[in-house]
Amino acid sequence: MADITTCPPLTRESVRAAHERIKPYIHLTPVLTNRTLDDIASTPQSAEALRSTQFEGEEPASPKIRFFFKCENLQRVGAFKVRGAFHALTRLREVKGREGLKKGVITHSSGNHAQALSLAARTFRIPAHIVMPTISTPSKIAATRSYGAHIHFSGSTSSEREAAVATVLASDAQGATLVPPYDHPDIMLGQGTMALELEAQVHGLLVERRVHAELQGQTPVAAAEKEEDVGSGALDAVITPCGGGGMLSGVATALAGTGTKIFGAEPEFEGADDAKRGVERRERIESVKSLTIADGLRTPLGVHTWEVISDEEKVQGLYSVSEEQIKAAMRLVLERMKVVVEPSAVVGLAVCLFNEEFRKMVETEAGDEGWNVGVVLSGGNTTVDAISKLFGADASEKEKERQEGVMSMGGGKVAENIAG
């Protein structure tokens, strides 16, 4: 990877520069809204949903939330990871030149970064060696191979992956340049570019809404005039999934100083919420071994991502959710938004819908005005078979009850909204 000492500083301006570098290689992904999900998020959870939690018996939170979904599942390779991969390679070409990259690149990844780097390497016509855990989703392995990468298999933990990388570098990939999946400033800056787009897109949507509202009220007003009214605080908060932290740290860097609050979301299954626990202990957790269904979030924070994410001025909070809550959020996105996502992508939405600590915080801080919340749908690399296994006929009774509980939140109010 490019020498850390030669990297641009982790600033909003550096993210802007990264965006200019990668624009030719990425999609401007859409931002979607959904009134039904706004209504669900803005309706108190049922007493049943809070049973056996620390909030049992308490008055459920009643935040007002308006969602803006950044659809990185519609990005090239089906995930946000192309942003960091293309930024890393464009920076490497600047530093090393074309000759310096002749031996290619190498990385380790469970799937999305693997595909992203393989595509970037193919674009720049250099070899790519990818170390993937043997438990990686078959469709992600197949997609990575389709981009022409040389695949090498390893164990599932980060230490096992890194050991495999060292072995491959000493044999099949001598002279290749390591491109980490998340823990490098160039990767972080590349991932942060989605936040600049999201910020501008939400601003534009809100301007359009206000102009439309005034026109409906028979008071024509120019869009340019309304832009002044919207201001820079149109996006109150952004929540992203957090695995190794490249995306969350990049988004936090991009939006630093704008007034937008940044939050991270993790699965809690088998200790996958290492970032949350580490920040609480004020010490980075270096190893994670979890088989959460959110397979893209099974890695611990890196040294560089930890520095950003543990800074409370940059990331205002980290929250975790259960496997059942992730599945409930995924079902809502599939059925109500008609958008295909993988489990990792909906962890942020699950926090907004089900994490009572987060919901109470929003209720307190946002008050009656509520918040405009940007939610990153980070990827859509799943299959019909995988979705069938999650939601098939063999789903547990507990899962079915959970789904029914989601739909009946607020004494039927949400069910009425969905029916309408």
Q: Which of the residues are catalytic? A: 81, 110
Identify the three-state secondary structure at position 409: coil
Q: Which residue has the tokens 């819908």?
A: 353
Token pair for residue 275?
């970032």
Query: For residues 217 and 231, what is the distance between their CA atoms, to the nearest angstrom?
Result: 22
Q: How far apart are CA 225 and CA 245, in angstroms?
A: 38
Helix axes 185-216, 223-230, angle to 10 degrees: 120
Taking the C-alpha atoms of residue 2 and residue 95, their distance in angstroms, rounded to an integer, is: 7
Q: How far apart are CA 335 and CA 37, in angstroms?
A: 11
Q: Which of the 8 DSSP states describes residue 345?
A: G
Strands, DSSP E only, in 24-89?
A: 31-32, 65-71
Q: How far apart are CA 84 and CA 105, in angstroms?
A: 14
Cross-strand pairs, 319: 265
Residue 279: name the closest of 241, 237, 317 by CA. 317
Starting at the edge strand found earlier in the chain, the sheet holding 177-178 runs: 150-154, 128-133, 105-108, 177-178
